[in-house]
Amino acid sequence: MIEFQRFTLDNGLRVLVHEDHNTAMACVNILYDVGARDESPDKTGFAHLFEHLMFGGSVNVPNYDAPLQEVGGENNAFTSNDITNYYITLPSANLETAFWLESDRMLGLAFSEQSLDVQRSVVSEEFKQRYLNQPYGDVWLRLRPLAYKVHPYRWATIGKELKHIEEATMTDVRAFFDKYYIPNNAILVVAGDVQSEEVKRLANKWFGDIPARNKTVRDIPQEPKQTEARREEVHADVPVDSIYIAFHGPDRLSPDYAAMDLMSDILSRGNSSRLYRALVKDQPLFSEVNAYVTGSIDSNLFVVEGKPLSHVPMQQAEELLWNQLNLLKQQPVKSFELEKVKNKIESTMVFAELSILDKAMNLAFYEVLGDARLYNDEVNKYLAVTGEDIQRLANDIFVSGNSSTLVYYAKENKHVE
């Protein structure tokens, strides 16, 4: 249970405060309600590019890191298909420094051709190194558009094409900033050794004068139900053959989300999980195998992936994975097996409450979902899941017509089926 107070500034900035006086540190987390799903199909990768540009300095503070380091602070950020999140941790005695830096770049980010050139080059190099020149690096560049045909989840956070970043102009980035980097599209969470009244004073002092602007109303096309199996096979410079099967699943706010998440743990969490025991440990047929949920706000993907050993033909490997999925469809999960993954989920959530950064990020994320109080109900949602829930969901999700299969064949190891 995370206790917090909430207030909203006149400009629409939502502020949440969690007091934790067991530490001498504070965390200032600011989430902007913008991710890759908000991009135009012909200008993708901008949310991630902006994450980099935000560290290029503001009009008043050309070097963002220097003053933060002087007061013992650290910072970082991440972008997803749904959100962009920035955070600072620092001694609570120096809390105001974080307010100064975050408000200053929200109000007046420095837009210069030099900064844009530098960050455009950095992101382009990241695209090449992580997605184009690394074995299996282009998995999501292939799997997303295979699974999604309408929803903007069809491109990865890095972008759909390298040229979208390479051709980004100053006009493009200014328009993106003006549209999304506004106080009424942000959530500020302050956690740690802080006082709520002091946070309110600092929030009004540093953010209160930043003008609100018209907030964009999302009009994201929803992905239609998939009814036919999709498949792509690639011969690539990869070490070994590999297979990825993606299924559409419920969105983050669905009552079935917890069941889907637990189902992925039953299949793949730890050495006692079903996939590991059946396909790696007891009868070595795969070198590795995993199952996971993408965790998206809108409709999710449930992904099963594996690398079969060299003596296992891909057709057999695929059948082995489907056999494990079908077992979930045929009978409810045993109570002891379900309790085991529930306990792991519960311990993970409890452990997260020991970190002020985790608490701040969780409060911000659940607030963007609709209400930060939802986080305090999460454990109970998982504990309420039954074996019958998982069986029902498995029968809904694990059907051929709902599958998108991506296969990599290592060039030096082509199988003839």
Three-state secondary structure string covering 146-201:
HHCCCCHHHCCCCCCCHHHHHCCCHHHHHHHHHHHCCHHHEEEEEEECCCHHHHHH
* Active centre residues (catalytic): 51
Percent of the chain with pLDDT over 90: 89
Of the candidates 185, 157, 145, 171, the residue with the CA atom closest to the CA atom of residue 368: 185
By C-alpha distance, which of 366, 393, 368 is closest to 379?
A: 366
Per the CB < 8 A criterion, the answer to whether 313 and 415 are in contact is yes
**pLDDT, tens digit (0-9, with 9 covering 90-100), for 114-139:** 889 999 999 999 999 999 999 999 99
Write out pLDDT tens, residues 310-359: 999 999 999 999 999 999 999 999 999 999 999 999 999 988 889 999 99
Residue with tokens 């690539």: 236
- Among candidates 366, 367, 279, 373, which has minimal Cα distance to 325? 279
List the beta strands (DSSP E) in 68-112.
Answer: 74-79, 84-91
CATH 3.30.830.10 domain position(s) in the chain: 5-208, 230-410
pLDDT in tens, 211-268: 999 988 889 999 999 999 999 999 999 999 999 999 999 999 999 999 999 999 999 9
CA separation, residue 318 to residues 36, 189, 332, 400, 408 (Å): 31, 45, 23, 12, 12
The three-class DSSP label of residue 268 is helix
Q: What is the pTM of this model?
A: 0.94
From 3.90.1150.10, 3.30.830.10, 3.90.1580.10, 3.50.50.60, which CATH number describes the 230-410 domain? 3.30.830.10
The two tokens of residue 32 are 């902007």
Nearest to 153 by CA among 213, 226, 76, 87: 226
Q: Show the tokens assigned to 33.
A: 């309600």
Q: Are strands 300-308 and 403-410 parallel, antiparallel or unpaired?
A: unpaired
Residue 12 is given by DSSP the state S
Query: Secondary structure of 204-224 in the HEC alphabet?
Result: HHHHCCCCCCCCCCCCCCCCC
Phi, psi of 397 (to 5 degrees): -90, -50
The dihedrals phi and psi of 39, each to the nearest 5 degrees, come to: -85, 160
Q: What is the mean pLDDT of residues 270-291?
A: 96
The pLDDT score that the predictor gives to residue 416 is: 43
Report residue 417's pLDDT band, with 50, 70 and 90 as the boundaries. Answer: very low
Both tokens of 230, joined, read: 């999709």
DSSP labels for 303-345? EEEEEE-TTS-HHHHHHHHHHHHHHHHHSPPPHHHHHHHHHHH
Q: Does domain 5-208 have CATH number 3.30.830.10?
A: yes
Q: Is the pLDDT of residue 400 over 80?
A: yes
What is the pLDDT at residue 111? 85
